[in-house]
């Protein structure tokens, strides 16, 4: 639901902006009211807690003089606004010595805009007790499926975000929701204990509650096969990536390299390759809060820039990076709506949102049939970015061996992909028509400041070093 707290502070926030405009050429206020909860039931206990990145509520001011930017965060805006403005100026301690050290930045165009955004959901139909009853019942159902299951965890995490953004000429507010549901088990078989997981996500609680139980049987089948998984023989293989591994490549291997605050600092090799082929001509890649509907979708970013859909790779050519307001000013480009903060008291960076490869026209069955010997790689584990060198090191939870165009029962785990990113992307020869976005991720940057992200895409056929 729309934040009544932020609604009640609109007038005061506008007054504070106008008071500070006496001292600065540009002033913005971002107000946040984020409510998160997680209910979980495990073999041993049940709990209610803040979910993921946690709840937060407060304001951050971004101000620009004729040199650069200043920021100031506070929990509330109340009382004598003129006095508050004077206190902020005093706390900033702006002096000639400080101004001499600052880098000149271009002026911000503050366009006229008044918009209110609301993503409808069914959050008001479910209480915390409803969710707790669901996870406890589902935990018991999973436990009863097999004696091989020695531990179960079922969780539902809810996210309800309200934000307010005000400048002299702009007044924006937004409210949106998201839900994640997860099942994790520990499976004992073949003399070892193996973890396995599954999940689902949506803007509506009802859809998550309906879908999550339907994943139990496939989760158990996967756990059984993983109990017999063997290490992979290192080598270069033809691979088919599932959508989560495709997303891992999009985010970790390539996406971080096109965050344009890294262009400003000359920390990303991609800066030199805009306009050049970096992938097979059949490859297209996008990012944007407006590109798809998922957990990283919003209506405007923390710089007050409307959500966008940014083409990053078009027919194999790197055509654009993504940017926050400040890096766009430095580079002389238009911001892409990717300025994001972990919370109001944290710095805004250029951050990915929904990052993915576009679908193609191939069928998954045909892609598998085309592989003489290789692996079907499944489920994101982790990844490391290296924007300076465009190296890839990403891990899949497991792979399924493909022999003579057929999937076998031979599982390998874990599987590490490594190599040079453009080599991987240029090796792509088939792209499925099936497309899926993972809606439950988080990404760290800066001083390990986290934001919610999603990634995904179709199945890809490529060639890569595995180990």
CATH number at residue 150: 3.30.160
Q: Are residues 303 and 431 both part of a single domain? A: yes
Over residues 421-446, mean pLDDT: 93
Q: Are residues 255 and 391 in the same domain?
A: yes
The reply to whether 211 and 315 lie within a common domain is: no
Residue 165 lies in a domain: no
Whether residues 153 and 291 share a domain: the answer is no
Buried b (16+ CB within 10 A) or exposed e, 72-101: bebeebeeebeebbeebbeeeebeeeeeee
**How large is the average pLDDT for residues 250-263?**
93
pTM: 0.95
Mean pLDDT (whole number) for 360-375: 98
Mean pLDDT of the region 343-359:
97
Residue 164 lies in a domain: no
Indicate whether 97 belongs to any domain.
Answer: yes
The radius of gyration of the chain's CA atoms, rounded to the nearest angstrom, is 24
On whether both 101 and 200 belong to a single domain, the answer is no
- For tokens 């993921």, what's the residue? 52
Q: Are residues 440 and 393 in the same domain?
A: yes
Q: 276 and 152 in one domain?
A: no
Same domain for 146 and 76, yes or no, is no
- How far, in Å, CA of 454 to CA of 248, rounded? 10
262 inside domain:
yes
Among 64, 97, 117, identify where a domain stops.
117
Burial of 50 (0-12, 13-18, 19+ CB in 10 A): middle
- Could you tell me the two tokens for 46? 């049940």
pLDDT at 447: 80
Strand 235-241 and strand 373-384: pairing? parallel
What pLDDT score was predicted for residue 51?
Answer: 63
Q: Does 98 have pLDDT greater than 70?
A: yes
Is residue 171 included in any domain, yes or no?
no
Pair (266, 299) in one structural domain:
yes
> How far apart are the C-alpha atoms of 340 and 352, rounded to whole Å?
9
pLDDT computed for residue 95 by the predictor: 86
Question: Shortest CA distance to 369 belongs to which of 314, 406, 409?
Answer: 406
The total number of residues shown for the chain amounts to 467
Are residues 130 and 109 part of one domain? no
CA proximity to 389, closest of 248, 258, 264, 268: 268
**pLDDT reading at 146 higher than 80:** yes
In a domain, 173, yes or no: no
Could you say which of 226, 250, 283 is where a domain stops? 226
Model confidence at 257: pLDDT above 70: yes
DSSP string, 372-405: SEEEEEEEEEEEE--TTTTEEEEEEEEEEEEETT
Residue 93 within a domain: yes
Q: Domain count of the chain?
A: 3
Percent of the chain with pLDDT over 90: 87
Note whether 206 and 261 are same-domain residues. no
Task: Number of helices (H) and strands (E) in the chain: give both, helices first.
Answer: 12, 23
Q: Please tell me whether residue 440 adopts helix, strand or coil conformation.
A: strand
Last residue of a domain, which of 195, 226, 257? 226
* pLDDT at residue 52 in the model: 62
The C-alpha atoms of residue 351 and residue 445 are separated, in whole angstroms, by 8
Domain residues for the domain of 147 are: 120-159+178-226
Q: Do residues 110 and 124 both lie within one domain?
A: no
Is 27 within 8 Å of 21 (Cβ atoms)? yes
The arithmetic mean of pLDDT across residues 257-274, rounded, is: 93
Residue 150 has pLDDT above 80, yes or no: yes
Tokens of 38: 């997680």
State the pLDDT at residue 288.
Answer: 98
Residue 405 resides in a domain: yes
């Amino acid at each position: 639901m729309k934040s009544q707290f932020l609604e009640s502070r609109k007038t005061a926030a506008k007054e504070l902006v106008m008071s500070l405009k006496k001292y600065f050429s540009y002033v913005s206020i971002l107000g946040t009211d984020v409510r998160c909860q997680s209910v979980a039931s495990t073999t041993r206990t049940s709990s209610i807690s803040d979910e993921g990145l946690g709840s937060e509520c407060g304001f951050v001011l971004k101000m620009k003089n004729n040199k650069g930017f200043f920021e100031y965060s506070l929990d509330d805006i109340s009382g004598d606004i003129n006095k508050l403005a004077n206190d902020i100026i005093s706390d900033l301690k702006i002096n000639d010595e400080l101004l001499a050290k600052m880098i000149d930045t271009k002026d911000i165009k503050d366009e006229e805009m008044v918009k209110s955004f609301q993503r409808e959901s069914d959050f008001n139909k479910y209480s915390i007790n409803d969710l707790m009853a669901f996870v406890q019942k589902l935990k018991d159902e999973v436990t009863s499926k097999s004696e091989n299951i020695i531990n179960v965890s079922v969780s539902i995490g809810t996210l309800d975000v309200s934000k307010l953004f005000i400048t002299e000429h702009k007044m924006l507010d937004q409210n949106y929701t998201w839900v994640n549901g997860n099942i994790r088990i520990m499976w004992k078989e073949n003399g070892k204990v193996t973890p396995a997981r599954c999940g689902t996500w949506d803007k509506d609680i009802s859809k998550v509650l309906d879908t999550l139980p339907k994943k139990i049987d496939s989760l158990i089948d996967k756990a059984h096969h993983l109990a017999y998984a063997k290490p992979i023989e290192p080598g270069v293989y033809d691979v088919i990536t599932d959508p989560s591994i495709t997303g891992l490549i999009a985010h970790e291997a390539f996406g971080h390299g096109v965050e344009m605050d890294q262009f400003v600092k000359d920390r990303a090799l991609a800066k030199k390759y805009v306009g050049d082929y970096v992938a097979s001509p059949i490859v297209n890649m996008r990012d944007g809060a407006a590109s798809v509907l998922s957990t990283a979708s919003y209506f405007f970013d923390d710089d007050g820039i409307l959500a966008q859909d940014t083409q990053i790779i078009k027919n194999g050519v790197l055509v654009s990076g993504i940017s926050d307001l400040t890096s766009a000013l430095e580079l002389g480009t238009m911001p892409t709506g990717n300025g994001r903060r972990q919370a109001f008291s944290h710095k805004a960076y250029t951050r990915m949102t929904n990052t993915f490869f576009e679908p193609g026209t191939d069928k998954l069955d045909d892609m598998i049939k085309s592989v003489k010997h290789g692996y079907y790689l499944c489920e994101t584990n982790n990844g490391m970015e290296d924007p300076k060198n465009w190296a890839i090191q990403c891990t899949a939870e497991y792979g399924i061996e493909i022999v003579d165009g057929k999937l076998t029962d031979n599982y390998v785990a874990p599987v590490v992909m490594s190599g040079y990113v453009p080599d991987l992307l240029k090796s792509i020869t088939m792209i499925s028509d099936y497309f899926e976005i993972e809606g439950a991720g988080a990404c760290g940057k800066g001083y390990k400041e986290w934001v919610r992200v999603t990634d995904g895409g179709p199945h890809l056929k490529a060639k890569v070093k595995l180990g």
